[in-house]
Structure 1
Amino acid sequence: MASGIDEINEKIQSIRRGSFKMGLYIIILVISLSAINFLFGEAPFTEIPSFLQPYSESLTLFKPFLIYIKAALVFIFGYYVLNAVSAIVYTYASRVADRPTAAALKSLTKISGIAILLGLVGSIFNVSPAAALTMGSFGGMVVGFAAQTIITHLIAGVFLLITRPFSYGETITVAGQTGVVKEIKLMHLVLDTGEEEILIPSGTVVTQILRKKKVTNSKDKQ
């Protein structure tokens, strides 16, 4: 019991640490971009603060590389933020699902985040709307194909957990497999046949014909 409470507390602390890191990275990125705009902005030299005017000519040397510096900062700190977000997703998902499911959600979050991050970096280089649309459509298509099966089984798993068409300990037949319901997870159903355990994807359970062994009451027999 104590170990379970400790594990929950550890996950809560992990989520808090991830949230703190995410906020810290965003703040650092905003400050860095603001400082760059302040030092290398388009304002004439007369509007540059007096303590920076002696270095104004040196600062102008960096202007041709300003766009690359901004893109690098957005990508680096954006990737750090993405890692923090995906870690939070994994920690939270592991509280309500098994580790493979949590890992799949973490990977899906990272793939989606990278697609968004590349779009942000592209906007810094003033990518044309047509090119941005093409890149976004391709990224969305890749993410969609990668996530289709996972999302299907996740939604089906949530449906099974809510509707409860069968309960633990019941003997059922689904997808040609018969066994006792041992565990209902988000991604799959676990059946115990007595000799082995069978894992059936949640999407298959929802779409297949389900047969439940009828429990006959002893009083009905009399």
Structure 2
Amino acid sequence: MPTDTDLSVEEIRARIRRSLSRTIWYLLICALLLLTSNLLFKTFIGKFFPAFLEYEIYVNVIIVLGLGYLIINSASNFIYWTIRRRLDHATASLFRTIARIVGIATLLAVLTSIFNVNPAAALTIGSFTGMVVDFATQTVLGQAVVAMFLVLLRPFKPGDVITVVGQTGIVKDIGIMHTVLVSEDGSKEILIPSNSVVTAIIIKAVKPKTEDDVG
């Protein structure tokens, strides 16, 4: 099976079309579900089960959270393949990671607007749900900041051979939550939390200089 680095131009174009169509479909499905939810709560549930009206906000959050993740993933893949058609995998992967970080920030802003209250209040309302969302948000945002640091300063890039937190491998991807290494024999993938990478000593293999490089 071909990897991202050795696909033909036609295969890349096919993936561009596929990721774009998925993004559009997810957006349409999200809009349709939100519209259906709104109509359902304002008509049927509001008329026959008024006590359940307060749950509309949670239904909307679930819809936005679930479809939002799919939209972010497909849109970032569209950006990756569009750039990959012209540039190398490392550069395209950098823009994909940035797109995912921006997407997550946008998704959190949308969720906050659904709550229609101060973000701090929405996430610390004292309920179990609030505590879970608060913890998850802090974790994701913390990892996103670290990932942004890694992709912008680029202490290493996809294709480099590095040793970090006792693991050695070829960098496959710098994601939001993990930096992915492939073992040198290609038998396994190693997922290292991004916040562990940024605080660790990184040993990067250097290609030996040839006579042409010296000259």
TM bracket, shorter-chain basis: 0.5 to 0.7
User: What are the Cα deviations for residues 49-83 of structure 1, in whole angstroms up to 9, with x where unaligned?
Assistant: xxx59x9314x343121100001101111111101
Partners of 1:33 and 1:70 within 8 A in 2: yes
Q: CA deviation at 1:114?
A: 0.8
**Counterpart mapping for 1:203-218 below 5 A:** none
Q: Deviations over 1:154-186 (max 9, x none)?
A: xxxxxxxxxxxxxxxxxxxxxxxxxxxxxxxxx
Query: Over residues 97-122 of structure 1, what are the superposed CA-to-partner deviations in whole Å (9 max), with x where a residue is unaligned?
Result: 32222222212211221111011111
C-alpha contact 1:86 1:106 (8 A) present in aligned 2: yes
Q: How far is 1:194 from its partner?
A: 2.0
Tell me the CA shift for residue 10 of structure 1.
1.1
TM-score by structure 1 length? 0.52
Change (3 A) 1:193 1:17: same
Tell me the matched-pair count: 144
1:88 aligns with 2:78: yes
- Structure 2 CA distance, aligned partners of 1:15 and 1:142? 27
Cα shift at 1:33: 0.9
Q: Percent sequence identity over matched residues? A: 29
Conserved? CA contact 2:112–2:118, under 8 Å: no
Runs of 4+ aligned structure 1 residues displaced above 4 Å come to: 129-132, 139-146, 148-153
Counterpart amino acid of residue 59 in structure 2: I
Which secondary structure state, in structure 2, belongs to the residue aligned with residue 62 of structure 1?
Answer: helix
Query: What residue in structure 1 maps to residue 172 of structure 2?
Result: none
Aligned position for 1:27 = 28
Partner of 2:65: 75
Partner of 1:163: none
Trace 1:52-63 onto structure 2 (pairs within 5 A).
Answer: 56-58=47-49, 60-63=50-53
Distance 1:28 1:196, change over 3 A: farther
* Aligned counterparts, 1:40-189, within 5 A: 40-41=41-42, 48=43, 56-58=47-49, 60-128=50-118, 146-147=147-148, 150-151=151-152
* 2:30 pairs with 1:14: no
Looking at structure 2, the residues matched to 10 and 76 of structure 1 have their Cα atoms a distance apart, in angstroms, of 28
What CA distance in whole angstroms lies between the structure 1 residues aligned with 2:17 and 2:36?
28
Structure 1 match to 2:199: none
Confirm or deny: 8 A CA contact 2:30 2:64 kept in the other structure.
yes
Using the alignment, how far apart are the partners of 2:18 and 2:119 within structure 1? 37
1:147, distance to aligned residue in structure 2 (A): 3.6
- The 1:101/1:17 distance shift into structure 2, 3 A limit, reads same
The residue that corresponds to 2:158 in the other structure is: none
Whether contact under 8 Å (2:12, 2:81) holds in the other structure is yes
Q: What letter is aligned with 1:104?
A: L
